[in-house]
Amino acid sequence: MTSTISQEQNYNYIHIPGAIQPHGVLIALSLSLQIEQVSDNVEEFLSKKPEDLLNQPLHNLFGAEEIRAIEDLLVSTQHASISPNYLKLTLNTPEGEKHFDATVHKSDRIIILELEPTLSRTEMSFVNFRSMIGDVIPQIQQTSKLSDFTRLVVDKVKDITGFDRVMIFRFDASGAGSVIAEAKQEELEPYLGLHYPESDIPEPARKLYARGLLRYIPDLNAHKSNLIPLNNPYTAQPLDLSDATLRSCDDCCVQYHQNMGVSALLVISLIQDQKLWGLISCHNSTPKYLTSDIRTGCGFLGQIVSLELSNQIITEELDYKDKLKLLLSQFVASISSADNFIDALIHPKPCLLDLVTAGGCAISLDNEITLVGATPGVEEVRSLIEWSQNTIDDDLFATDSLPKIYPLAQAFKDFASGLLVLRISRIRRFYILWFRPEVIQTVNWAGAPEPLYQVTDEGNLKPSPRKSFELWKGTVLLTSSPWLQCELDSAIDLRNALVGIVLNKTDELAKINLELQRSNQELDSFAYAASHDLKEPLRGIHNYSNILIEDYAHLLDAEGLEYLNTLVNLTQRMDTLINVLLRLSQIGQTELRKQFVDLNDLLNIVISMFRASRQGENFDIRIPKQLPVIECDPVLVNELFTNLISNAFKYNDQAHKWVEIGYLEEQIQKSVDTTSFVFYVKDNGIGIQPQHQELIFRLFKRLHSKEKYGGGTGAGLAIAKKILQRHGGKIWVESTYGQGSTFFFIL
């Protein structure tokens, strides 16, 4: 616990060190310009002891003109865009005139005045300024590659400052960084390409860099000058030196650079999108003093570089974003008109892979998995989808190191070290997964990782800056190239487009369904009306034929009598057919009376009726396991089982006939809360040839002559099909001719 606190203290207090660098003096003033604090080196520069200055008004030190200039600078500093702003001040001392470059800024309710001695009395002219950095602007504008641009910048900064080594250091998202450009004295070992862990420039230090734009430490080994008194009497707080140019460097930073052999440091912050993007870091092996003019020039150059950097990066990103957008719109246009959705997702050019620059892709819909490009196998993808269903809440998930969170992925890291999951529908298991292969990276670290903390004499832990800066190679495994935000956006845009297309298709389907329902109903009521009306004239024909047989038989010869008998038989057959039609149209039209039905009870009734009508016959009805309770219309389902069971025995010429009724272990998940069972009625009968297996469900379709197998109308299976359609289910048959048939159905 103690160690954590002291570690935080060390970094979190670097903005209030209570001391400054000794190459200048600091005077902290109240808002009424009374001196509240001074650095302990004032006598050396101002020829006045601290006690002669403290609690005195500032005009005891400077004349009215200087004070007005300080006040003006304070106002302009608050609005200034170029930092630091400074002022030339002259002080009359017993040793003669002394000249200073002064900066002033406000920190909370305190005015901080910093003075650095200078030889020059005149401010830098525009001409000087232009000659220092003016030529670099047109050169920058001519570079088109980030690497050329950064190279130009380090060369220029080295030129202006004369430092031994100038580097551009770029941060990554984690806060670690690498050297992307370097200009150095030949004898120095190169740092270009080296990576630095996040802890080398910890968050509080990065915050100060983001704020200050320029950090200048001319002599890292110089003794600090403490503030007197340590706490500000006006605020009773330690003085916040976040924006003070003279702020002393924390021990950790000093030691870090000393270990590197650095004695002077100048750091120019590079800001992009209001965030610290990187640093121009200048090192010198000996102390190095720069005039305020040069530092102003460097600060200005830093701002130009920041601006141009944004341009370069934004242009690069925009080009890629535009490309993805174009690809997506072409892709969506090509799939929206297609009939087969999955086919459409796989085939078009540009393809799914291009939309996010992936190496492989898997589409999962209703448990069907389709693979494109370099991917893991179907079963591996299935398990991965299972895992993402259980672990990922959002519609979009991306990782560039899948094996680290899903260890099974080690087996297919070559295809899928990076994963992007897009969920379109959880219920239909509609997922698109993109994969990226492992990219084995060699990272050149600046020095081997060492313990970050060391134990102080008091037993506390304090940050321990890296000692060795010799190249240390580390290998990054099980990682793909990272997914960019614009790629994630592209995936989300695709999701929105797909949902739109699916919704349109659903609308179309709903319309077609409605139309179909209407025409089915019309057909049913037509069949009902037609067959109902047919019955009456048929009855007339039948009755008159019977009258003719009974009363006029003596007037006819044998042939005439036979014709009349055939006529009576035909009317009877026609009556049966009309009854079938009536039944069919009735099933189509009447409201379903659904209720929860225990199929065991229902089958008991069907079977006992069946046995009663076939007494003395040798047959066996097996139900291997208890049947479930389902919601259905019991009258219709009774009719369904009756038809199937009677067919099972009717089309059966075995000595020992049997039928088995049951359901399959696998159930069909239709939606979250309804499950469908696949039932079957299996017999050891004559079987059905493959070419007839669909035909038999047609109305009045029989495979045999009228009298064979006990005759029939060819309506039983058509009625069974209609009953199942009404329940939203279906029926089909599997059969081996000569061995038996199994009728499957879903209710």
CA distance 151 to 149: 5
Task: Burial-class residue 503 by CB neighbours within 10 Å (0-12, 13-18, 19+).
Answer: exposed
Nearer to ligand ADP, 435 or 651 (CB): 651
CA distance 571 to 565: 10
Nearer to ligand ADP, 474 or 711 (CB): 711
Q: Could you tell me the smallest distance in angstroms from the CB atom of residue 622 to ligand ADP? A: 15
Q: Could you tell me the smallest distance in angstroms from the CB atom of residue 526 to ligand ADP? A: 22
Q: Could you tell me the smallest distance in angstroms from the CB atom of residue 662 to ligand ADP? A: 16
Q: Could you tell me the smallest distance in angstroms from the CB atom of residue 589 to ligand ADP? A: 21
Nearer to ligand ADP, 285 or 713 (CB): 713
CA distance 358 to 382: 19
Q: CA 191 → CA 186, 217, 444, distances in Å? A: 12, 21, 10
Q: Which residues bind ligand ADP (CB under 6 A)?
A: 643, 647-648, 651, 683, 685-686, 688, 696, 701-704, 712-718, 741
Nearer to ligand ADP, 24 or 740 (CB): 740
CA distance 167 to 175: 17
Nearer to ligand ADP, 494 or 696 (CB): 696
Q: How many separate helices (H) and strands (E) can be counted in the chain?
A: 20, 33
Q: Could you tell me the smallest distance in angstroms from the CB atom of residue 582 to ligand ADP? A: 16
- The answer to whether the CB of 246 falls within 8 A of the CB of 21 is yes
Length of the chain: 747
Q: Cis before residue 537, ω within 30 degrees of 0?
A: no
Q: CA 667 → CA 225, 368, 570, 747, distances in Å? A: 81, 16, 47, 12
CA distance 63 to 89: 10
106-121 CB burial, b ≥16 within 10 A, e <16: ebeebbbbbbbebeee
Nearer to ligand ADP, 343 or 694 (CB): 694
Q: Could you tell me the smallest distance in angstroms from the CB atom of residue 414 to ligand ADP? A: 53
CA distance 101 to 78: 18
Nearer to ligand ADP, 178 or 647 (CB): 647
Q: Could you tell me the smallest distance in angstroms from the CB atom of residue 647 to ligand ADP? A: 3
Q: Could you tell me the smallest distance in angstroms from the CB atom of residue 397 to ligand ADP? A: 51
Q: Could you tell me the smallest distance in angstroms from the CB atom of residue 696 to ligand ADP? A: 4
Nearer to ligand ADP, 651 or 679 (CB): 651
CA distance 102 to 108: 19
Nearer to ligand ADP, 306 or 735 (CB): 735
Q: CA 38 → CA 32, 84, 266, 309, distances in Å? A: 16, 21, 25, 40
Residue of closest CB approach to ligand ADP: 712
Q: CA 134 → CA 127, 144, 156, 254, 304, distances in Å? A: 9, 19, 11, 34, 11
Adjacent-strand bridge partners of 264:
284
Nearer to ligand ADP, 383 or 713 (CB): 713
> 234 is written with which tokens?
């006006």
Nearer to ligand ADP, 288 or 702 (CB): 702
CA distance 116 to 25: 7
Q: Could you tell me the smallest distance in angstroms from the CB atom of residue 702 to ligand ADP? A: 4
- From 224, 220, 223, 222, select the one nearest 285 (Cα to Cα): 220
CA distance 446 to 190: 11
CB atoms within 10 A of CB 72: 12
Q: Could you tell me the smallest distance in angstroms from the CB atom of residue 483 to ligand ADP? A: 58
Q: Could you tell me the smallest distance in angstroms from the CB atom of residue 383 to ligand ADP? A: 41
First to last CA, the chain: 66
Q: Could you tell me the smallest distance in angstroms from the CB atom of residue 734 to ligand ADP? A: 11
298, containing H or E segment: helix 292-336
Q: Could you tell me the smallest distance in angstroms from the CB atom of residue 603 to ligand ADP? A: 17
Nearer to ligand ADP, 117 or 712 (CB): 712
What's the CA dihedral at 490, 495, 499, 504 to 10 degrees? Answer: 30
Nearer to ligand ADP, 110 or 696 (CB): 696
Q: Cα 693 to the chain's mean position, in Å?
A: 48
- The answer to whether the CB of 247 falls within 8 A of the CB of 105 is no
CA distance 740 to 21: 100
CA distance 4 to 12: 12
> 371 is written with which tokens?
């693979």
> 478 is written with which tokens?
């099980």
Q: Could you tell me the smallest distance in angstroms from the CB atom of residue 605 to ligand ADP? A: 20
Nearer to ligand ADP, 50 or 716 (CB): 716
Nearer to ligand ADP, 606 or 718 (CB): 718
